[in-house]
Each structure stands twice: as C-alpha cells, then as structure tokens.
Structure 1
Amino acid sequence: MGSPTLSTVVPSLVLLILFFVSSFLITVSSEPNEEADTLLKWKASLQSRNQSRLPSWTKATTNVSSKISPCAWYGISCNDAGRVINISLRNTGLSGTLHGFSFSSFPRLAYLDLTGSGLFGTIPPEVGLLSHLKFLFIDTNKLDGSIPPEVGQLSSMEVFFLCSNYLNGSVPPSLGNLSHISLLFIYDNLFSGFIPSDIGNSKSIFNLDLSSNQFSGPIPLFFGNLSNLKSLYLYGNSLSSPILSSLGKFKSLIDLQLNENQFTGYIPRSFGNLTSLSTLRLSKNELFGSIPDEIGKMRSLSVLDLNENQFKGVLPPSISNLTNLKELALLYNHLSGSIPPSLGNLILRELLLSGNHFAGYLPYNICQGGALEIFTVSENHFQGTIPTSVRNCTSLIRVHLNGNNLTGNISEALAIYPNLTFIDLSRNNFYGEISSNWGKCPKLDTLNVSMNNITGGIPREIGNSSQLQALDLSLNHIVGEIPKELGKLNSLTKLILRGNQRAVTLSFINKVCSSLEA
C-alpha cells in the first residue's frame, strides 16, 4: 500500500478543519441559545398577566435555521461575542421570583437591574455564581428571607442595592469579602442582630446605608478601617453604646446620620476633625453632656441636627463659625443660657430651638440673609421683642414663638409673608391690635395669638385669608363684632374666641366651623 498522495491528503485536511470549525460555531451559537432559553423559561414562570410586558422576548425568527439571540430583546445588552452582559428591567411591573432564573447561564453578566419589578420570595444562593457581576439592583421589591452567604462570592461586585424589601435575619459576615464594593445599600428592611464587623474589611466602600432596620449593639470597631467612607447612614435602628471616636478620623466623610437609635455618651471631640462633613444628624438618641466647642471646626457643615437628646449647658459660641450652616436643630434638650448674638450672622433656613431652657434675647439680625423659613423657639424663656429682621423676612413658612416671655406691639413686629402657613405667638406678653396684614398672607392656614394682651377688634381683612383653617384668639382683650367675612371662609374649621368680650352672636360661624369655642 503506497503513501498517501497530496491529492488525497488535502481533501481530508479540509474536511477535518471544516469539522472543527463547524463544531466551534455550534458551540458559540449554542451559548446565546442557552441564554435565550433561560430568559424565556424565567418569563414563563412569571405571572401570566405580566408576560405581555416583554413582547420582544420570543423564539420567533425569520429563518428556522437561525440561532435565537436575546441581544435585541427589551432590557438585554450583549458584548461583541453575543453574550448577555446587561439585564435591565427596572420598574417593568413583573411579578415572580428569582428561583426560575438560572444564574449559571450568564457567566459574563456584569449588570443586573430588577428594581421595582414586583419580585417576591427569597434570594437564591445561586446568585453567587455571577462571578463577573459588578452592579446588582434588586431593591424596591417584596423579597423576604435572609441574604444568602454565597453573596460573598461576588468578588467583582461594586454596587449592591437590596434596599426597600422585607429581608430579615442577620447580615452574613461574607459581605466583608466584597473587596471592590463601593456602594452598599440595604436600608429599609427587617435585618436584626449586630452589624457584622467584617464589613470593615471592605475598604473600598464610600457609601454605606444600613438605615431603617432593626440592628442592635454598637457600631463595630472595625468600621474605623473604612478610610474611603464618604456617607454613613445608620439611622432608624436600635444601635447603642457610645459613638465611635474613630469616626472622627475620616476627613473625607461628607454625610453622617446616626439619628433614631439608642446611642449614649458624649459627642466625640474628634468630630472636630471632620472638616469635610456637610450633614451631621444625631437626633433622637440618649446622648448627654455639653455640645463640644470643637463643633465649630466643622466648617463645611450645613446641617447640624441634635434634636431630642439630653444635652445640657450653653450653646458654644463657636457654632457661629459654621458659615455654611443652613439648619440648626436643637429641639427638646436641656440647653440653657443665652443665644450668641453672632448666631444672627449665619444665613440659616431652619432654626429649631424649642423645648429647652434658653433665656435672654433672640439675635436681632436672625433673618438678615432673608433665607429663614422655619423659625421655632417655643417653650423657652426668651424675653424682649421679636427680632427686627423678622419683619422683612418674607421667606418664612412656619413660626413657633409660643411659650416665652416675649413682648412688643404685635401689629408692628410682623408684616406680610407670602409663603407663611403657620404662626403661633401664644402664651407671651404681646400687646396691640391684630394687624390687617394677616389677611394678606395667602397661604396662612393657622394663626394662634391666644393668651396675650391683644386689644381691639378682629379686622375684617382676616376673611381674605382663603386658606385659613384654625384661628385662636382666646384669652385676650378683643372686643367688638366678629366680621361676617370669617363666616364665608370654607376652609375655617377651628375658631377659638373664649376669654374675650364680644357683642354679636356666633350663629353664622357655627355653620362653617366644626370646632368652635366661644
């Protein structure tokens, strides 16, 4: 038998090459087919009435021999090789579980967004097979159960949103394995137990939101390792113990919200190092002691919220150094002393001092910047007149000055406020007559000047306040007739006049007021 000739070898070689090429093409083409089949099976598992939202997800082709590729389907993106790398079905209104979704069929998937898609049930452990996944959004659904530990296998993960579901149980320590994670949002769930210290291993995190859960215990010490942290939200839990002083070393921290917990102890003086911090919320805790003078070093601060704690002592004058401050909230503490006059140099939008033991005079220029919207200093011991800058403070929306020792002519101290909705001046020592200007405040719904020394009559212009719902003039020295214009206000449901002198009946008022105290 002779050696094979060139004429016999070449055709055989060509056939062999064609065999391998065809086998390769079959393999390549089968991958999109597998992904398409997986997506179609998952679609079929969804509640039938919602499948119509994905009409492009179909096996229909123009050529029966053509491969089925999902790359042109709604919400699907592919790479150059035709593999699915992006699934985005945000707010599509689907209804079903993730258990019909074969995660192993998408080895190249980098982006999965199922926000607000009507998902329920638990998160399958198979989610850990998505080794290339960088962005996972399954928030704002009805998922329950716990986070599977296998989530810690998502070594490429950068952004992880699980918020606004019904997830519960403890958070697995394996989340600390996500070494590339930058945003971790699991807020608004039912998680409980301690916050795992392993999260402190994820040093790339710059935004961590664990708020509105049921976490207890202290902030883990290892949180001090999160050197890139810019935002930390832990509010709305049951966390306790003193606040970590090591948080004060994060000079890049911009937003720190620890409110609505059970933290005790002092504000760490190290917080004075947080020179980039814009928002500090510590309200509704059990913090005590004085407000440290170091607060004045936080020059970027725009919101300082210390409401409802047990702080005592005086307001440190250094707060006046916070030239970017827009909201100062100190409601319901045990603070005392006078307000530093320099506080009036700040261009505040909100000044909330009610429920303390402050005394002395309010800064005369408290609204010099014309930005003050919420002005509440009720239930203190302030004296003197309303600050002169308030007369021209047209930005005011809500004013609470009640329960002090303020005095002055009420008709001269205040003016016309186009955005004012609520004002309470009760339980002070104001005198004079009610100004007709109140009828020129188009959004006013509540006016309370009870328990003062107001004299004169009720101006008929009050009836021009078309939004007025509650008018309390009780326990003053008001005389004369009740203007009929008040009886024409369809909005007026509460009118309190007891403790005054009147010369007319209230029959026409009775028809429109559901709450009338003569």
Structure 2
Amino acid sequence: MITADNFHWVSKLTSLRYLDLSWLYLAASLDWLQAVNMLPLLQVLHLNDASLPATNLNSLPQVNFTTLKILDLKSNTNLNSSLPSWIWNLSSLSELDLSSCGLSGVIPDELGKLTSLKFVGLADNKLEGSIPRSVSSLCNLVHLDLSGNLLSGDITVIAKTLLPCMKQLQILGLADNKLKGNLSGWLEQMASLRVLDLSKNSLSGDVPASMGKLLNLKHLDISSNSFGGMLSEQHFVNLSGLVTLVLSSNSLKIVMKPSWVPPFQLREIGMHTCLVGPQFPTWLQSQTRIEKIDVGSAGIRGMLPDWIWTFSLSLTSLNVSTNNIIGELPASLEQLKMLTILNMRYNQLEGRIPDLPTGVQVLDLSHNYLSGSLPQIFGGNELYYLLLSNNSLSGVIPTDLCNMVSMEVIDLSSNNLSGELPNCWHKNSNLYIIDFSSNKLWGEIPSTMGSLDSLITLYLGKNNLSGTLPTSLQSCKGLVLLDLGDNNLSGNIPKWIGDSLQTLQFLNLRSNEFSGEIPEVLSQLHALQFLDLSNNKLSGPVPHFLGNLTALHLGSPIGFTSPVMDFIVYGVGGAYFSVYMCSLRATYKGAALIFGRISNLLTSIDLSANQLTGEIPSDIRFLSALVNLNLSRNHIGGSIPDGIGSMSYLESLDLSWNDLSGSIPQSMTSLVSLAYLDLSYNHLSGKIPSDHQFATFSGSSFLGNVDLCGAPLSTICLPNNNKHFDTMTYLCTMLGFASGFSIVCWILISSAAARKDVSRTRPVRTDWKSELHYSVPLWRAFHCSLEEHFFLGTDFGQARCLCQSC
C-alpha cells in the first residue's frame, strides 16, 4: 500500500492539469485540500478510495482551481462534512462524484448553477430533505445518482421537475431513500432512460402499462416498495433491450400466458414475494442467457420442470425458497458449472443431496425432507455457507468439512446425524458459525475445535455429548455465543470461560451434569447478557457477583454490540437473505421457548433446578436491564431483597420451590413490566401486595406459602395483628359452633325432662355437671367438634374443661 504523510509536495506542481491518486492511503495528509487549492490549472482530480482524513470541505475561504471539470472524491467515508459552497463556483464542472463520503445536510439550490454537469454522484451519504427544484436547470445531465440517502418528497413532483430539461437523462438512481408517490403520468415520458432504480422507497400504486414505451430501458429495479396490481405482457411488449428486471418485495401479481415469448433476453429476474405461481413461470425457459433467478415466496407449487436444470448454462443464482415445491432433486447438478448460489429452503423436497458443481458458494437446502447421508465432498473449496438444517439427514459428519478453507457458516442442526464430531479442524479456517445442535452426536467435544479462533457462534446443544469441556476452547477468544445445553457434559464449569472468553454474550450450559460451585470469574464477562446454567448439579451459594454483569445494567456501553449474529448474503434479484439466524432456548414466563432471533432484548439469567443455597444477593438490584430471572427449584433461603423492585425491565420472575421466608417486598409493585411471577412453595408470610401488576397475578403464583394471606389467595388477613385464617375454616368453625350450641341446649332440655321421670326412683341431682355426665356420648360429639374447630368463647372453654374432667 502506497502512503503519503502530507500533500505539501503537490502544492508545488502549479502547472498540473491532471491528478489521480486514487487508492493510495492518504489518512495522514491533513493538508490535502489546501494543497490542491494551490493548483490553478487543475482540470481533473481523482482521489477516490484514498482514505482521506476527516475534513471540513467548507474550510476554503476561496477556491483557486476554478477550471476543474472532474471532481472525484468518492468512497472517502471519513470526510464527514456538508456539501461545500465553493463547488458552486466550478462553472466548468461536468462530473461531480462525492458518493460515500459521509456527507450530511441538504442539497442546496446552488446545484442548479452547474449547468455543464453531465454526471452527479451523491449516493450513499446522509443527505436529507427534498431534491431541489433547481436541478431542472441541468439540461446536460445524463447520469443522476442520489441513492442511499435520507431524501424525501413525492417522486411525481420530482420527476415533473426534471422532465422539461432532462429528456436525455439515461441513468436515474433514487434507490434507498424515503420517497413516496407513484409512477403514473411521468415514467413513460423519460424516453431516454436506460437504467431506472427506485428500489427501497415507499412508492405505491400500480405499475403503468405505459412503461412499455421506454424502448431504451435495460435495467429496471422497483423492488422493496409497496406497488400492487397486476403485470402482464403489455408492460414489456417493446422492452426488447431489457437485461435486468427486479420486482421483488412488492405485492404484484405476475400474469403471463404460458405461450408468451418475451422480446428480451434477461440476465437477472427478481420476483421474490410477488404472486407468480402456482406454476413455475414457463416463459423463463426462453431466457437462455439468464444468470440470476429469484422466485422465492412466489406461491409456486408442485414439481419444478426438468428444463430448469439444463436450459441455461450461464445460471449463477437460483432461489426458489419458501414455496411448496415437491419431488426430488437430480442426482447431479455438476453440469451447472457457473452455479454459485442455490437456495431451496422451506419447501417439501425429498431424496438425497445431489452432487454439486465445484464453484458453489452458498448451498441452502434447509427445512425440507431430505434424507440419506451427507456427501463426502460439497462441491469445491469455494463453499462459504452450508445450510442443511431441519431435514432427516443421517450418518456421520464427513471430515471433508474440516478442509473447506473458505467456509464461514455450517448449519447441520435438527437432523438425525450420529457418531462423533470430527477432530480435524484447522487454525487457518475462516469459520464463524458452527451449528450441529439437535442431532444424535456422542462422544467428547474434539480438542481441535479450539483451533477455530475465528469462531463467533458454537452450537452443540441437544445431543449426547459427554466428558468435560476441552481447555482448547479458551483459544476461541472471539466467541459471542456458546450453546452446549442439553447434553451429558460433566465436571466443574471451567474458570477459563471467564478468563478467556471476554466477548461472550450468550452462554447456555443448561441440562447437563455440571457440578461444583459457579466460578466467580464469570463476573469478568462484562458483555454477558444471557446466562443459563439450569438443570445441573451445581451447589454452593447463589453467586454474589451477579450484580457485576455490567451488560445487564441500563445504559451500560458494554454488551449489546455483537459483531455478526446474522450473516447476510447479497440477494438474488434485489432481495436480501439472512443466511443464518441465531436462536436460543430459554425458560421464559414458565414455558420452554425457542427465541428464533437473538436480539438485544433477550436478557436472561436462569440458575434453576440446581442445589444452590444461601440468599439472593442484594446486588441483583443493579441488573436493571434484565428481562428474565429464574432461580426456582433450589435451596435458596433468606428473604427476597427489597432492591429487586429496581429491576425495571423484568418481565418474568420465578423464585418458586425454594426456602425463602419473610414478606413480599412492597417495592416489587414497581415492576410495571412484570408479566409472569412465581413465588410458590416457599415460606413467605404476610399480606400479598395488591398494587399495579400484582393485581393481575393468579393464586398459583403464591401457592404453598401457608403464611401468606390476601388476594388472590382465599386466606383472609386479620386487620389488627396481621394474623390470618382460611375462609373455609372460618365457615366450618361457625357451623361447629352452631351445632355444638344446639346440642348443649338439647342436652339440658332432655335432662330436665329425664329428672321428672326418674325422680321417684333416684335422688334429685342439682349439679349440672351430673347432667352432662348422663349424656357422655352427646357431649363427646360436641367435644370432638370443639377439638376440630377451636375458635372458642369463654363459656365453651369452660365446657371443654368440664368434659375433660369427666
């Protein structure tokens, strides 16, 4: 790389007319603009892709190179300036290219002064506002590219502004802005257009059939808008030169007669999410020069026609994903020697994986019904992304994968693969993601995986892996996600996880056989936002360092900055696809869920179903960004810390099946986001708070705490001493009281009557204790009632004593 520390030497070349220092490294040349300004005869300046330093382009008080015709500074992303006012003094300027320069602000009206302009390139900046009306003065303009900005306004108004003076405009790029409006009434008047790119805006309405009048049109991209209606042969009848047609990501219906033969020969067709089916479009068979086909999510059903595998030897990309395509693939696709991308995911394909051409870079056959073993060789060494998840593939993982030096993503998850993991991985690999989860793999994690120092994500969960974690994994210092859950791994959780894996944000070791204490060095994982150690054999106290996980503090600058969690490959036909989507299993709101896309909102700590003791650390209050906390099914004692009420983002809290005591902190009513709460089966006491979210929880959240009272439980709290009793017990006591009282009365009455009958044969007894003595069976019934329901007044306490003396 050629570098230059300064531009002072340039300023001495005062007779210079042509200067091209493109692709040099000029980051240290802070004086470049002042030096160029010393060249009064300069006509051509090319400094594109030169890493120019941040420069205030408005810093020139006066411009001296007024004879400049070509100004090219594109792809100097650090300039970070607004459009400089001195440009409007360059009256001879015919080419202006400031694309990808980090420019901001608005496009001034003064642009219209540069009437000699033929080319204006301001793409990929941060320019905002509307396109100035003064562009109507640029009558020599052939190429206008304002794509990739923040420009707004109605495209109909903009186009009619351009029309009077721009009949010769050939290339119009307005993609990736915030434009609205429709295409009617102006599109057909731009008869000279060869390239029209309006993709990624908010345009709507029908696509007018008058588009067919653009006889010179070669490239048309209106993808990623809100166009609707129907397109037929009429729209394309005169477009004989059309090479690129991208209609993807709209609500268009493409209706062509099966016998239609287009007047053009396309190289790229994009109809992703348009309604094309149910049949695969037969008119594509006439496109013998086609290179890219995208009919993903197009409502296609049934089998693919045989000719699709033979009709175009130039085919490089084929996307038929997310349809209802059935049948088997050919035994070999090696005849498609130019094929680099094959995306057929989310269909109903069966059979085996075909032999592939050596140039394949992306192979996505995931979410089908493919079976059989994996091929020993996947094409050649150019394979970047291998995505075969959610099929019925069996057999072992071939060792050839270790030799794929270009491979970045391997996803073989959710199949029936068995055997041991390959132990042949190399340090020169470019692997970022490995996902072998949800298979039947066994044995130990191979030590050579530690040589994959480029790894960001490692998924080996839901297998039958055993043994301890290999120490070699500590060399994977770039790991962001490590998921080894649902295996048979054992031993202590290694301390090197906290020492070496400083970038780790997601750690899942759930449902294994890990034992011992949770190592304190995990507190060094300052980026950690997801920790799941549930369902192991971990012991010792609840780790007091939980509050030190700074990524879970609101406002923390650490964490939530994962490098690459979703790998994107450029889309076929204007659509972009996530090659791999990270996911995690978590127990959330009492249910086992799979989070299909990891986001910064997935913040969770789950230490449930272990043998942890001690108390909940008070520092847990610092985890104000935590969404899910599960400490259930342990032996945790003490009280719920009052500071837990400051965890304002908490949505799910499970502390059930522990030994917690004391009252529920009133501060917990401040948890306004709390949607799930389980405090059941502890030793909590006192009144359940009833404010805010607590009014929405059912009794199941508090079951098994015999000393808790108040709604939603049926246990009533006594107002004076905070003691309580059960409503049913109260009712039964009252019934017992009434029954007992009536029995006593009946005894007294019966005894009085009996005295009259026995007075002739017995001495008269005046002691009422004796009367009770004559009716022992009845009194015992009353006595049992009193023993069972002991809510007694003074008189019945005396009656019980009398009975006990009997």
- TM-score normalized by structure 1? 0.77
Which of structures 1 and 2 has the bigger CA Rg? 2
How far off is 1:138 after superposition? 3.3
How far off is 1:142 after superposition? 3.3
- Change over 3 Å in CA distance of 1:283–1:75 after alignment to 2: farther
> Which residue of 2 is the match for residue 184 of structure 1?
220
- Cα separation, 2, equivalents of 1:472 and 1:274: 47
How far off is 1:133 after superposition? 2.7
Instruction: Please state whether the residue corresponding to 2:300 is helix, strand or coil.
Output: strand
1:34-433 aligned within 5 A: 74=111, 93=127, 95-96=129-130, 110-115=142-147, 116=149, 118-124=151-157, 126=160, 130-197=166-233, 198-199=235-236, 201-218=238-255, 224-225=261-262, 227-272=264-309, 273-293=311-331, 295-316=333-354, 318-319=355-356, 322-343=357-378, 346-390=381-425, 394-412=429-447, 414-433=449-468
How far off is 1:439 after superposition? 1.9
Give the conservation status (yes or no) of the 8 Å contact 1:376–1:401.
yes
- Change over 3 Å in CA distance of 1:200–1:482 after alignment to 2: farther
Deviates more, 1:438-447 or 1:145-154: 145-154
Q: One-letter code of the match for 1:410?
A: I
How far off is 1:330 after superposition? 1.2
Identity %: 26
How far off is 1:302 after superposition? 1.2
- Change over 3 Å in CA distance of 1:389–1:302 after alignment to 2: farther
Q: One-letter code of the match for 2:313?
A: T
- Deviations for 1:68-107, whole angstroms, at most 9, x for unmatched residues? 999896476656xxxx766666568463478x5796x777
- Cα separation, 2, equivalents of 1:344 and 1:182: 34
Q: One-letter code of the match for 2:250?
A: N
- Change over 3 Å in CA distance of 1:465–1:96 after alignment to 2: closer
How far off is 1:304 after superposition? 1.0
Give the conservation status (yes or no) of the 8 Å contact 1:445–1:467.
yes
Give the conservation status (yes or no) of the 8 Å contact 2:111–2:135.
no
- Deviations for 1:373-397, whole angstroms, at most 9, x for unmatched residues? 1111111101112234446573221
- Deviations for 1:237-286, whole angstroms, at most 9, x for unmatched residues? 34432222442443422222222332223233222232222222222222
Q: One-letter code of the match for 2:338?
A: S
Instruction: Please state whether the residue corresponding to 1:342 is helix, strand or coil.
Output: coil
Stretches of structure 1 that go unaligned for 5 or more consecutive residues are 1-51, 61-67
> Which residue of 1 is the match for residue 542 of structure 2?
506
- Change over 3 Å in CA distance of 1:76–1:189 after alignment to 2: farther
How far off is 1:224 after superposition? 4.8
- Change over 3 Å in CA distance of 1:151–1:123 after alignment to 2: same
- Change over 3 Å in CA distance of 1:85–1:362 after alignment to 2: closer
- Change over 3 Å in CA distance of 1:92–1:477 after alignment to 2: closer
Higher relative contact order (CA 8 A, sep 6+): 1
How far off is 1:332 after superposition? 1.0
- Cα separation, 2, equivalents of 1:511 and 1:92: 40
- Deviations for 1:475-514, whole angstroms, at most 9, x for unmatched residues? 2222333332223322233332333323422323433465
- Cα separation, 1, equivalents of 2:204 and 2:118: 30
How far off is 1:300 after superposition? 0.9
Q: One-letter code of the match for 1:168?
A: S
> Which residue of 1 is the match for residue 497 of structure 2?
462
Instruction: Please state whether the residue corresponding to 2:377 is helix, strand or coil.
Output: helix
Instruction: Please state whether the residue corresponding to 1:242 is helix, strand or coil.
Output: coil
How far off is 1:117 after superposition? 7.1
Partner of residue 515 from structure 1, selected from 597, 601, 605: 605
Instruction: Please state whether the residue corresponding to 2:334 is helix, strand or coil.
Output: helix
How far off is 1:401 after superposition? 0.8
Give the conservation status (yes or no) of the 8 Å contact 1:128–1:152.
no
Q: One-letter code of the match for 1:275?
A: L
Deviates more, 1:218-227 or 1:411-420: 218-227
How far off is 1:205 after superposition? 1.5
- Change over 3 Å in CA distance of 1:205–1:71 after alignment to 2: closer
Q: One-letter code of the match for 1:95?
A: G
Stretches of structure 2 that go unaligned for 5 or more consecutive residues are 1-81, 96-109, 550-603, 609-806
- Change over 3 Å in CA distance of 1:229–1:223 after alignment to 2: farther
How far off is 1:515 after superposition? 0.6
- Change over 3 Å in CA distance of 1:406–1:225 after alignment to 2: same
- TM-score normalized by structure 2? 0.51
- Change over 3 Å in CA distance of 1:135–1:485 after alignment to 2: same
Give the conservation status (yes or no) of the 8 Å contact 2:225–2:250.
yes
- Cα separation, 2, equivalents of 1:348 and 1:494: 32
- Cα separation, 1, equivalents of 2:548 and 2:457: 21
Q: One-letter code of the match for 1:414?
A: M
Instruction: Give the aligned length.
Output: 450
Give the conservation status (yes or no) of the 8 Å contact 2:239–2:264.
no
Deviates more, 1:116-125 or 1:305-314: 116-125
